[in-house]
Amino acid sequence: MINLFKVYNPLNVIWLAVLLLITRIGYALQAPDKIQFVFVEPFARLLIPASYEYTFSPGMNIFLAAVLVLAQALLINYLANLYNLLSRPTFLPALMYVTLSALFTPFMVLSAPLFCNFLVIWMLFKLLSLYKSDDAKSTAYDLGIIVAIGSLIYLPFIYLFLCIWIALIIFKPFNWREWISGILGYLTVFFFLAVIYYLSNRLGYFFKIWAPLGTRFPNSINIRYINYLVLVPVVLLLILYFYKLQQNYLKSYVQVRKSFLLLFFLFLIAGMSFYVKSQFNLNHFLLCAVPASVFFAYYFLNGTKKWIYESLYFLLLISIIYFQFNTF
């Protein structure tokens, strides 16, 4: 399987579609009668006043989510190849994203984090372009707007604003105008939202939007650990990725090294921002799948022992399918 996707072959899109079916059929067969779909945060419902939460049947919901995942996988693959993150063209990032997007059943349905992954990918295209950009003010402004739009859809997305400043630190010499441009871009979107609140005589509620950001980081989370055994091969692959990266880090181009550093911070920020929501939602960690797919692709592309990386991927795939049928 891994060797098949190591080669950049457009026919691999067909195999990606087959894999999407295989990794989701278990959940599709036992999906609940109703699946709620929440597209925007409650404070942005003024923008979408119609009811839509149960518009799609469970089967249609899962199917549309799979189509979005396939589109995102191809975009991530194009991103990795465009910026030469993996040293040669390959279809592995797409394979890894399709696989990681099936880790848990909440990943397989329409959700705000799933839609936000389009914005994460869009951000990465712009962030990675900063390396060769002479003037980053307009790019930073656009990135601020993207983060603001993502915040309307899913409030924890606001923390990805830090990635703009981190990218400016990594790729560019300090210029305070570029740092301010990102803030102005963010404020532009929320200025128009404030106008809508004002015209609706609800301006007092507008200032409560950011109240969840003051939530303290939880000391503990009540979860059934046996349901998360599927993460064992994921953690193992992350360890192997970091080991392989440190072997080749100094051999890589400066742009590639800086790009992977940015992806690492994106992975951390996306993962650590889950606590903003009052209720623990597993689908939040779908935001981590974008950088993680590039990490895993890097390991599988640079792995030297075929039986090891093929066995690890097979173990991951079997774990995903097994835990769909066995939720304990």
Residue 245 belongs to domain spanning: 2-325
- Per residue in 94-147, pLDDT (tens digit) is 999 999 998 888 899 999 999 999 999 999 999 999 988 888 899 999 999 999
Instruction: Indicate the number of domains in the chain.
Output: 1
**Residue 83 neighbours by CB under 8 Å, 6+ apart:** 128, 255, 256, 259
pLDDT of residue 328: 43
How far is it, in rounded angstroms, from Cα 5 to Cα 260?
A: 21
Choose the most confident range, by mean pLDDT, from 51-65, 133-147, 215-229: 133-147
3-state DSSP assignment of residue 134 = coil
Average pLDDT estimate for 177-191: 94
- Per residue in 272-303, pLDDT (tens digit) is 988 777 676 788 899 999 999 999 999 998 87
How far is it, in rounded angstroms, from Cα 310 to Cα 118?
A: 29
CA distances from 271 to 53, 204, 264 (A): 26, 31, 11
Query: Whole-prediction pTM value?
Result: 0.91
**Which amino acid, residue 153?**
I
- Both structure tokens of 104: 């848990």
Q: DSSP characters for 185-202? A: HHHHHHHHHHHHHHHTT-
What are the contacts of 216-220 at 24+ separation with CB within 8 A?
Answer: 216/275, 217/275, 218/275
- Residue 163, pLDDT above cutoff 50: yes
